[in-house]
Structure 1
Amino acid sequence: MKKIINPWREMAGYRCFGCDPNSPQGLRMEFYEEGEEVVSRWRPRPEFQGWVDTLHGGIQATLADEISSWVVFRRFQTSGVTSKMEVRYLRPVHTTDDHILLRARVGEQRRNLVRIDVRIFDAQGELCTEASCLYFLFPKEKAQRDFHFCECGVEEVPAPSGCGECSASE
């Protein structure tokens, strides 16, 4: 498993709710590459509840949207925008779990539109949420010029516990 390097982590003005590692209110997601998938092990926090001990559906959608963008960054080496998103909630995700696991991959590509398929698993490896995100890909020149996109590389690191060791990796 390889950790995906956040190319914006030191950029002035960078305040992404999903992936800024220094955002006190944000999700602070990190991403890993495992084969064709991008994976994120994330710890739910009580402030993201929708109901008692239940992760808010909007936060789940945000998690799915964020990991989808990292599939775009890594697989296509460009950025883009979400054009459409469909979320299917299958079972509750509990904020009392010590982690949840997100897995995302390219589902289909047609020219500059790409569908990213996302699955969210609870700490026991049960599938809780599925999402399909349709992204419009920017030409690389536009991504570099307008969004400060640069190479989205990886580094070898040990996998965080919970990644690749539960039934969710099958």
Structure 2
Amino acid sequence: MAGTVRVPWSVIPDYHCFGCSPHNAGGLRLRFTPDPEGLRTDFRLGRAFESYPGVVHGGMIGVIADELMGNLIVLARQQPAFTVSQRTRFLTPLLIDRDYHCVASLAATAPGPIRASAEVRDADGAVCATSTASYQPFELAAVRHQLTLGDDEVALLATALANGVQP
């Protein structure tokens, strides 16, 4: 399998994304790899993410799918986008301490929000959950007042988005 993909946010030394930051001790610390369909993450969730005994909380599955779809958009289109809507469908419960992976893909380009989809699969490849979402792209300058980043960090992020992240 190909190596881990760096997200643009990684140019910010102390970014704290709940989904993908290695700096967030309470986060998921997801890592992404290329996939023929788009982007993939492998995961195993323990009891800290439990709902019913032995079952992963469904909200966590939505978070993982959203994280993967959103980062695929950023990597493929070199532009960040906010989630506008998301729908997740559960086919089977996901169990704690089991291996799963999520694969995201983008819909064909069309005017308006960007559409993406994701599937969560078990170790045997069976689909356990699906998610679809719409994302609204934005320019960093337009949302600068909402971000808790310094001017130097915004500049780093803008360069990473425009030129790709350097290894």
TM tier relative to shorter chain: 0.7 to 0.9
What CA distance in whole angstroms lies between the structure 1 residues aligned with 2:166 and 2:36? 12
Structure (1 or 2) with the greater helix fraction: 2
Instruction: Give the structure, 1 or 2, with the largest relative contact order (CA under 8 Å, sep 6 or more).
Output: 1
Name the aligned partner's letter for residue 122 of structure 1: D
**What TM-score does the superposition give when structure 1 sets the normalisation length?**
0.80
> Match for residue 104 of structure 1?
104
Is the contact made by 2:122 and 2:128 (CA closer than 8 Å) also made in structure 1? yes
TM-aligned CA deviation for residue 60 of structure 1: 0.5
Deviation at 1:42, TM superposition (A): 1.2
**TM superposition shift of 1:88:** 0.5
Identify, as 1 or 2, the structure richer in strand: 1
Distance 1:57 1:13 in 2: 28
**1:39 is aligned to 2:40:** yes
Q: Within the alignment, does 1:114 sit opposite 2:114 as a pair?
A: yes
Ranges in structure 2 where 5+ consecutive residues have no aligned partner: 148-153
Match of 2:151 in 1: none
Q: Distance in 1 between matches of 2:15 and 2:35?
A: 26
Provide the identity percentage.
22
Greater gyration radius: 2
Using the TM superposition, give the Cα deviation of residue 140 of structure 1 relative to its aligned residue in structure 2, in angstroms.
7.1
Aligned length: 154
Partner residue in 1 for 2:86: 85
- Kindly report which structure 2 residues correspond to 1:1-170, keeping only aligned pairs within 5 A, or say none: 1-9=2-10, 11-97=12-98, 99-139=99-139, 148-149=157-158, 150-151=160-161, 152-153=164-165
TM-score, with length taken from structure 2? 0.81
- Supply the RMSD in Å over aligned alpha carbons: 2.4
Note closer, same or farther for the CA distance 1:22–1:9 as it changes in structure 2 (3 Å cut): same
Give the AA of the match of 1:113.
P
2:122 is aligned with what amino acid?
Answer: D
